Amino acid sequence: MAVIAGEPRAHVELAVGALAPRLISRNATRAHVAVTAAGMVLLGGDHVDIRIDVGPACTLEIEDVGGTVAYPGALSSWNLDVRIGAGGTLLWHGLPFVVTGGADVERRSSLTLGSDARAVIRETLVLGRHGERGGRLSSELSVVDGDGPILFERLEADGRAPEPGVLGGNRTLDAVIAVGFRPRARPHDLEFDLPGAMARHLSDHTHGSPLDPVWDAWAALAEERGLGAAPASLETERNRVEVTA
């Protein structure tokens, strides 16, 4: 999947594989694409590789239509490789990634940012469907720019043998991740020259997350482009949302 600036409309490259992307709208520098599974994904033993290129000064908004379910079986993998050109923006609102009981999944997301590039990603990881404890999940996220690493994070979780202190009694980890700029999550937050922020919510269900307004605010900020503009403020529930820089 790729978007390159053009007149009168951006050039958008879409390829159907495990996912079926569909172009919703575009202008000279912005494209809105919806993605859904082209079949049953992830079956045991499936290996899905996704490559996304956002051209310089372009914005690509990806809307997840159906989410992803990892089914029981052999080891499966989900690998995402994103490259964002100078001044580019990626907005990806992912729906829940559900690891069913008996599934064994390795999930890797890698983002490379050009100068003044930014991204806002919504990801929701869920151990098990209703009534299940869920299978094994290894989830890794790495973000780098021209100066080196910005973020590296790895989560190991197994619903069959939960580790104390990882998810506790929760089975859902909801997150909004901003990189390439530093939004404020609450009006009283201090401003730092840091390359990103993360808002998280742990729960035993997927509905009613307090991160919905966080996504709306941070995605809007990412598209403003002007880093010198006064940062927007956002009220969130202090006791339910953890924000780290």
Question: Per residue of the chain (245 residues), what is the pLDDT tens digit?
Answer: 999 999 999 999 999 888 899 999 999 999 999 998 887 889 989 999 999 999 999 999 999 988 899 999 999 999 999 999 999 999 999 999 999 999 999 999 999 999 999 999 999 999 988 888 899 999 999 999 988 999 999 999 988 877 766 777 788 999 999 999 888 655 555 555 568 889 999 988 878 789 999 999 999 999 885 333 333 333 333 222 333 32
- Could you report how far apart the first and last alpha carbons of the chain are, in Å? 29
Residue 41's pLDDT is 83
Alpha-carbon distance 97 to 103, whole Å?
12
Strands 196-203 and 172-179: antiparallel
- Residue 175 burial (10 A CB sphere; 0-12, 13-18, 19+): buried
Residue 225's pLDDT is 58
Residue 63's pLDDT is 92
Residue 237's pLDDT is 30
- Residues whose CB falls within 8 Å of the CB of residue 154, separated by 6 or more in sequence, listed in order: 138, 139, 140, 141
Which regions of the chain does DSSP assign to beta strands (E)?
A: 2-4, 11-13, 19-26, 30-37, 47-54, 59-64, 68-70, 76-84, 89-93, 97-99, 104-113, 118-127, 136-145, 148-158, 172-179, 196-203, 242-244
Residue 231's pLDDT is 35
User: Nearest Cα to 143, choosing from 114, 170, 105?
Assistant: 114
- Residues whose CB falls within 8 Å of the CB of residue 148, separated by 6 or more in sequence, listed in order: none
Residue 192's pLDDT is 54
- Residue 131 burial (10 A CB sphere; 0-12, 13-18, 19+): exposed
Amino acid at 33: V
pTM for the model stands at 0.85
Backbone angles phi, psi at 215, to 5 degrees: -60, -50
pLDDT tens per residue, range 61-85: 999 988 899 999 999 999 999 999 9
Backbone angles phi, psi at 85, to 5 degrees: -70, 175
Alpha-carbon distance 18 to 77, whole Å?
12
Alpha-carbon distance 165 to 134, whole Å?
17
Residue 186's pLDDT is 58
Alpha-carbon distance 95 to 125, whole Å?
9
How long is the chain?
A: 245
